[in-house]
Structure 1
């Protein structure tokens, strides 16, 4: 089974808009892990660097332009039906107002409330990293 290369952003609100909050989005029901919340991102294209993929995906999905991002962690996770490698970035600055460009629900969530949302198994390590 081929491993799917994915990039995702832990997107932090700034002190003026959504302080101490992180942006999450709900996966459409028809997708793998549909209905669960996730950190926005998507598949990396062939010959695309992870940061390029992050920037492209967040522009496509949320209509924001990343201006500052740093690597946060890498995760390899095997589901019963697919294998994924996630390249996770901390996004601390961006331009634009985030909105669900692909019809997905989005939410700014206070960091301490992230545990109240259902995430795919592969995202659990990200939550532990953020929440300590």
Structure 2
């Protein structure tokens, strides 16, 4: 079932970092890449909040590392914008697209630069993010 914004229980558990609940829902066949009304997946919510344990579980359940919401934001954009280095590393290991652009044309490197996350910038450059896309 969903709430008014289209979120399912897996969205709520992922957003709030409840790894044990995520495990239970995945065992009960919750749709790992379900999108809410804004096209946001549980993985994107976990990436925004920096919930690394939840991210591990969702990625192990084959969540898409590149699923973008209706604004074009994928989990890597959220991790870069919010300085979530552990999450960023997981997404890069899962082959997240470092050159993906949001609907406004921003790459993860743009977002990390705007927010002053030098450690994220370093990781993205090592992962071959284009400086002048």
TM-score (norm 2): 0.25
| TM-score in terms of structure 1 length | 0.25
* Structure of greater relative contact order (alpha carbons < 8 Å, 6+ residues apart): 1
Structure (1/2) with the larger strand percentage: 1
